Structure 1
Amino acid sequence: MRERESAFSILASVRRRRRRQRLATWFRRWWPAFAFGIPLGVAAGLVLVDPAPMLAVFEPGPPTPPGAVVGRASVVDGDTIEIHGERIRMFGIDAPESGQLCQDAKGSDYRCSQQAANHLDGLIGWSTVSCEGSERDRYGRLIATCTARGQDLSEKMVRDGWAMAFTRYSSRYVGAEAAAKAAGNGIWTGSFTPPWEWREAHR
């Protein structure tokens, strides 16, 4: 009786081993088809349903103007940024200088230079910045008109009250400055020294 049970046990073990071997063989043979076929099938289905998302990957972006500096920007101060190591002075505006203090509506000092830099950083965010210009200032910085998210950053900084129209070089943003002053935006909520006068006094 014991010999018969032992024989049955050995036979069952052999059958289980053979089943595992057949499963392993099947898995090795068909796994590549499942691994690569299913994602390809899903992608093909997406294209058949709506090809726009897939095709958008291959569509070229807007053309870059000749001579433009384009990329992610880091903010140096309220009127200066850097893209790919290129220091850029934003055209037509002058923002509070580093270390400059302004006075709020209650007459209290605050770091308007830092506020201006923070505001510019918020305007840019994670977007790509495009700057066009050909001239340089005495420090070697490119003087350029810069845009991000479809807006002129110089115009926006002046209109929001965190920079002034630099009329010594351009009158382009005089209207934006008048609007900021009338609305009491940014530094216009209190009192301040124009940046060019502050520089003269602190040389």
Structure 2
Amino acid sequence: MLRICLAFVLLLPGLTHAAEHLAGRVHVIDADTWNVGGVRVRLHGIDAPELDQACQDSDGSSWPCGAWATHMVREQFQGRMTTCVPVDRDRYGRIVARCSVEREDVAARIVEQGLAFAYRKYSDAYAGAEQVARIEYRGLHKTQIQVPWVHRARKKPKSSETCLIKGNVSSKGERIFHEPGQRYYAKTRISAAKGEQWFCSAAEARAAGWRAARR
């Protein structure tokens, strides 16, 4: 068993040399997706609003709750050291893990503050934390919000008719976006099965964790 765990870790760049965990400084991509020591990590058992997702206040006005949740998580964890225990790997190739900062379960704190929801499809671990946040109207629970998994399901896929920037996954697993006029733009093909996608702006692509092509 030790050999299997060690092999799993050594296959991932930027991981601490430990058999059952990875560790590194946090770079917050969004509220539930982090870069930990150069490795993309999806926090296990929670689901936060998408970066472009909006909510409605009681008076019906719209506000960018997805960007807000990301900002609040970034304020608390950006640059701090975290230790994560891998649980799975998702369809986009990200490590799904339970992470802690100073021995505190970060997912529990995020849900307790109303910055994300318990993702019961995969785990009931944070259902209690969500219930507390809901009762006390913390964060997202004091606004009108479509839960993230429903929001994603209802979003219309972007197409080349309106969004021209191509988000491509390279053979090395790098997420790179190509803009019209760049050298490899015409040759780049988008495959949704590989997690590739269209973007409407370079800022949107960067916010989602993609870097610009060098030429």
After superposition, residues 117-128 of structure 1 pair within 5 angstroms as 117-128=70-81
Task: Establish whether residue 155 from structure 1 lines up as the match of residue 108 from structure 2.
Answer: yes
User: Counterpart of 2:42?
Assistant: 89
Which 5+ residue runs of structure 1 have no aligned equivalent? 1-62
Opposite residue 62 of structure 2, the aligned amino acid is: D
Residues 28, 78 of structure 2: 8 Å contact kept:
no
CA distance in 2, matches of 1:130, 1:186: 26
Moved over 2 A (4+): 63-67, 104-107
Residues 123, 153 of structure 1: 8 Å contact kept:
no
Task: Establish whether residue 110 from structure 1 lines up as the match of residue 67 from structure 2.
Answer: no
How big is the shift at 1:65?
5.7
Flag the structure with more relative contact order, 1 or 2, with Cα contacts below 8 A and sequence separation at least 6: 1
User: Counterpart of 2:96?
Assistant: 143
How big is the shift at 1:64?
8.0
Write 1 or 2 for the structure with the bigger share of strand: 2
Equivalent residue pairs, number: 141
CA distance in 2, matches of 1:65, 1:179: 35
TM-score, normalising length: structure 1: 0.65
Change (3 A) 1:104 1:137: same
Write 1 or 2 for the structure with the bigger share of helix: 1
User: Counterpart of 2:142?
Assistant: 189
Superimposed CA distance per residue, residues 129-183 of structure 1 (whole angstroms, 9 cap, x where no aligned partner): 1111141000000000011133111111111001000000100000000000011
Superimposed CA distance per residue, residues 10-45 of structure 1 (whole angstroms, 9 cap, x where no aligned partner): xxxxxxxxxxxxxxxxxxxxxxxxxxxxxxxxxxxx
CA distance in 2, matches of 1:150, 1:106: 40
Residues 107, 190 of structure 1: 8 Å contact kept:
no
User: Counterpart of 1:100?
Assistant: 53
Residues 51, 70 of structure 2: 8 Å contact kept:
no
CA distance in 1, matches of 2:121, 2:37: 29
Structure number with greater Rg is 1
Opposite residue 160 of structure 1, the aligned amino acid is: Q
Which 5+ residue runs of structure 2 have no aligned equivalent? 1-15, 158-215
Change (3 A) 1:127 1:164: same
CA distance in 2, matches of 1:109, 1:192: 10
